[in-house]
Structure formats: C-alpha cells, structure tokens
Structure 1
Amino acid sequence: MPPLHRSFASHPTRRRLLTVAAATAAATALAAPADAAPWPTTIPLPNGWQPEGIAIGAGPYAYLGSLADGSVYRADLRTGTGRIIATGPGTPAVGLELDGRGRLFIAGRQSGARVVDARSGATLASYTLAATTPSFANDVVLTERAAWFTDSYQPVLYALPLGPNGALPGPDGVVRLPLAGDWVQTPGGAVNANGIARTPDGSALLVVQSGVGLLHRIDTATGRTGTVDLGDAAPLTNGDGLLVTGRTLYVVQNRQNAIDVFRLAPDGRSGAFRRRITAPGFDVPTTVAAHRGRLYLPNARFTTPPAPDTTYSVTAVDA
C-alpha cells in the first residue's frame, strides 16, 4: 500500500502539533458548563426515528441519523428541541462524524457512505465503499488525512482521503485497507468491526470487534492489527460506539445499558478499566459524543420492535 502510506504520513513536528490540538479540543468538549441553567438530560427524538449514530461539534448541537431512512436530525442541547435538517435517501444512517468545516460523514450500512452539509442538509458526495458483499459500513472517525469507516461484515477499513483544505475525493477515490495481524474475522453474519476512534497520540486507530469482545489497534499504513491489552476487564462483547478524550476511552456496551471507561496508554496498545457508567434512561444506547462535561447517547431500543409511533430519545450523563 505505498500510495496510502505516503498520503497519510506527516512530519513529526506537525503530528505533535495536531495531537496537542486534538487534546485541547477534547478538553474543551468535556469542560464543565459555565452557566447555571440546567440543560436537559433527556432529549426527545421524532417518533419512529430509530437512532444509531451521534455527532457533536463545538456548538451546542447534536446530529443524529435515522436507521429508518437516513435522515439527519439536529437537536439543541440547551433546550432539547430540534428539527430534521436533511431528508434521507431511504437507506440507513449509522455512524456519524462532524468535521470543522460543518460536514457530516455518514456510514450508510450496505449503501456505503455519504457526506452532508450540516448547515443546509445538502448531500455533498456519496461513495460506494465495499468491493464485495455482504457489507455493513458501521462507524466512522476523522483524522487530518482521511475519514475512516468500519465494515462489520468484511475484514477491511475504508478511507476517504482528504485533499488540501479538506477536499473530498472523487467517487473512485475510496481506499480499501485489508486487516491483518491479530484480526480474525468471525463468519456467518456476526458483527465484527464496529466502533472506531483514534489512539490518544493519534498514531493509530482503535476498533472494537463486538462479537468476540476485543479491542484492536490498527496501523493505517499496513492494516496490521494488535489486540489491545485491557488487563482483567470483561470482554467487550456488546462493544459499540467508541470515544477517546485525552487518554480516556469510553466504550458503549449497548445491550448492557452501560459505558465502560478505560485509561489508555498514549499509543493505545494497552489500557486499564476504571469504572462503569449506567443511567435509568439508557435503553440500548449505541454511540456516544461529548459536550461541556457530559456524554450524550442515543437510545436505539433494539429490544423494542420499531414502529412509526415508537418513541426515541438521547440520554445525557456526566462524563
């Protein structure tokens, strides 16, 4: 993969600066609110929404995709109110990530991926990610050089390389990175690669393999994976969305209605369990985003049959 390696390589000084910037952004996201007015801890979503992914930027807004039709809802974290900003294409929206240019990168399950303007709701680009079937584009994370997507049914990561000023690639610009090393794919439709995040130092990616409960560190230049040593922690068999802030890793355990919290080594090769977060409002939460000292999790309610009048919500807890 020489072209990929050159594309994502960066000067050490620049990499250190970017790592500092990322750490500063993470600290800002978890800074305690300065005002005394309480923000809601439950944010209602439209009936029948079927949420999965959530993304929060610098502003007090959460963006949530719909598994039902791929629409995007924007919720005001201060008031709990919101509106649909983009009508979906009729295919699911799974994981979401928001960049500093106001663009939402959306994993679209078997439909691939699309990029949406978070202000206007316009679709900026669409991509076919998988070269084989079955495929399940599940989650996405952004680095300085690319948007990276997991596939729960194939042992591969997909990258959308970003050009100068964050320019999006053309439709044929998708890079496919096969997974090697410690990765052992579970066949038969099991959920393999799921949530994805960056290591604290930005040197690699972390991916949870839900079905077997393992956390992997992945070298984006080679695709080589190594199992992260989490000590005596229980297997992450319900591991879903991941969030890394500083050296803290949050792992959403969907059907356990919990978040497991770990302290990671800077390079992400090891970690230690610190605590578990639960809340009465959790109803199969799937992913997590942070803002001003809180964690926000959409309740997918996978144990409740979806219907047009099924209620859904986002639950906020202290980080």
Structure 2
Amino acid sequence: MPVGLALALAAAMSAPAQATAEPELPTAIQLPNGFRPEGVATGPGPFAYFGSLADGSIYRADLRTGRGSIVSKGPGTPSVGLKSDQRGRLFVAGGTNGDARIVDVHTGRVLESYQLAAGPAFVNDVVLTKDAAWFTDSTNPVLYKLPLRGARLPAEAERVPLTGDLVYGTGFNANGIAPAPDGRGLLVVQSNTGGLFRVEPSGVTRRVDLHGETLPNGDGLLLRGRTLFAVQNRLNTVAVLRLNEDGTEGRVVRRVTDARFDVPTTVAAFGDRLYLPNARFTTPPTPETPYNAVAVQD
C-alpha cells in the first residue's frame, strides 16, 4: 500500500465519528376540522392521542411526522382527559356523559366502559398511579377510582368523596389531576378558584401552599419529578411550579406563553417537549373550524 494512502486511512480511522443529526420533530400537529380537542396523552412510543369533545373520537398522531388519523370512532359523547399506559390502553374521561372508558390504542376497540355518575356530572380528567386510575368530576365533589391489578380491569369503579379544604362552588371545580411527588397522594387543581390541593387516597384534601399564587382557569396537570406544569386554559399560559417532596407546598417559578396558544387545555410530554391541544373555546365551533396541537420546550 502506498505510504500516502496508508496515512490517509489511519487518519480517517482515528478521527471521531460524525454524529447523525436527529430529525427535527414537528412543532405543530394538525387535527381534523371540527374535531374540538381537549385531552392529550403520549406513549407508548412517539405517538400522541387526542380526544374529541364533539363526538368522542380518538386521533393518533405520529410525533416524528405530525401525521395521524382517527383510531377509535367516538360514541357520540365527549372524550375529555386522557392517559395511556405501557399496555397500550387509553383511559378516557367522558365529560357530561358521566362515564369513563378504556380503549385499545392499537385496534381502537373499547375494552371496558364504566358509568361513574347517575346524574349531572362532568368527568374531566384522569391520572394513572401504580395501582389505580383516578378520575375527577368538576360537578360533584368526588373522585372515581378504578383499581388496577396488572392487566385486569375492575368490574366497577369506586366512588371516593372529597372532604377537607377543597369545597365545591359554582362553575368548574376539580379539573386536572396528577400524582403528588411522593407517590402517596394526588394533586388536583380547582378551576374556578385557582386552588391547588393534595388529595389523600381516602379523599381528604389539603390546600397546597403556593405562597400567595393561584392558578385561575387551571386545567391539565403534568408532574415531572418535583416540577408541576399547570395549564391555565383561557389565560393561554402554562404555570411551572416547583413542589416540595410531599406536594404540600410549592412556588411558581415561571410561566410559559406562546403566540400559538389558543386556549390550550391539557399537556403531555415526549422527550424535552410539551404537547398542548388548542381547544379554541373562544371560537364558535363548526364542522369546518380548524384545530391543532402545538409543541413547546419544557
């Protein structure tokens, strides 16, 4: 081998490999016209799921491309808050229908449904813990609990009355829900008062000390470590709070706004991004009204 070629090959072999640039993920996801999104969930994998207030359909989007389609045709009643688990099950809050259902994200089939309330209700949001799915009701001072044991779904839901500091009033009450940082309780935001509360599994509530701050129009919640993201829908804002270990005290450290926000309602994460559907509550809904979801850095 010529000396020059040998030296060139040696230099190439010793040079650091060039990193392959990761493709840039889309920063907006177009949803079907007239869809009226409210809830969002991410995973398993690089997928997001959106629920329709119009007819309850579930739309799945590939976060790598922004493209998607309806994977579960709705029952004609709302889909509100959503959460997905690693088994490919999507837990759906049913809003004014007072129900919840679990959907297979691969087939769109409804695995189970539960009528949670007999009278007026607004089953608004849901969170998954290690042993249960918990649903809020913005009309009635209760949480609904679905005990989960592995792949088994329960025959019926448990009704857990809320007591203590969280007192229901006129308008939307308990809305977004997240686990407390210690994993032993829950966090719930009350939309009409802006209060944030820790909820014990027994239903006893305690106001979280936010040092004079409130979260008016509080909607979806997302906990990452001890950082809580709280969507304030009609304020087009996401409040970012740092909590103590048990979630009884916290401070608003910043607020995120974006010119693309148009009444975002809920929030889910993928990588270092937050995804928020624009519900556009201040825009009259029609079958042709455009809707989307936007991504921001967390």
Shift of 1:215: 0.3
Question: What secondary structure, in the 3-state scheme, does the structure 1 residue paired with 2:275 have?
Answer: strand
Unaligned stretches of 5+ residues in structure 1: 1-33
Residue aligned with 2:245, SS: coil
CA positional deviation for 1:145: 1.1
Aligned to 1:166: 151
- Is 1:236 aligned with 2:221? no
Give the Cα separation in 1 of the matches to 2:21 and 2:266: 27
Give deviations 1:36-72, integer Å, cap 9, x for gaps: 3211111100000000000001411000010000000
User: Do the aligned partners of residues 224 and 35 (structure 1) sit closer, same or farther apart at CA in structure 2, a change above 3 Å counting?
Assistant: farther
Map residues 153-232 of structure 1 onto 2, 5 A cutoff: 153-163=139-149, 165-170=150-155, 173-187=156-170, 190-220=171-201, 222-232=202-212
Structure having greater relative contact order (Cα 8 Å, sep ≥ 6)? 1
Output the amino acid matched with 1:232: G
Provide TM-score, normalisation by structure 1: 0.86
**1:268 is the counterpart of 2:247:** yes
Which residue identity does 1:208 align to in structure 2? V
User: Counterpart in 1 of 2:94?
Assistant: 108
Distance 2:166 2:242 in 1: 23
How far did 1:110 drift? 2.7
When normalised by structure 2's length, the TM-score is: 0.92
Give the residue type in structure 1 aligned to 2:286: A
1:128 to 115, 123, 136: 115
Distance 1:35 1:260 in 2: 32
Amino acid at match of 2:194: G
For residues 293 and 274 of structure 1, the distance between their equivalents in structure 2, rounded to whole angstroms, comes to: 18
Distance 1:82 1:310 in 2: 18
Is 1:85 the counterpart of 2:71? The answer is yes
C-alpha deviations, 1:277-309, integer Å up to 9, x for none? 111110000000001100000000000000011
1:49-88 superposed matches below 5 A: 49-88=35-74
Q: CA deviation at 1:35?
A: 4.5
Name the residue aligned to 1:143.
129
Partner of 1:166: helix, strand, or coil? coil
1:166 offset after TM fit, Å? 3.1
- Tell me how large the CA RMSD over aligned residues is: 1.0
Residue segments in structure 2 that go unaligned for 5+ positions in a row: 1-19
Question: Aligned-pair distance for 1:183?
Answer: 1.5
Q: Return the alpha-carbon distance in structure 2 between the equivalents of residues 159 and 84 of structure 1.
A: 28
Runs of 4+ residues over 4 Å off in structure 1 = none
Distance 1:197 1:278 in 2: 21
CA distance in 2, matches of 1:179, 1:35: 50
Cα shift at 1:232:
2.9
The 2-side partners of 1:223 and 1:244 are apart by 20
Distance 2:63 2:124 in 1: 25
More helix by share: 1
Q: Separation in 1 of the partners of 2:56 and 2:239?
A: 28
1:118 maps to which residue? 105
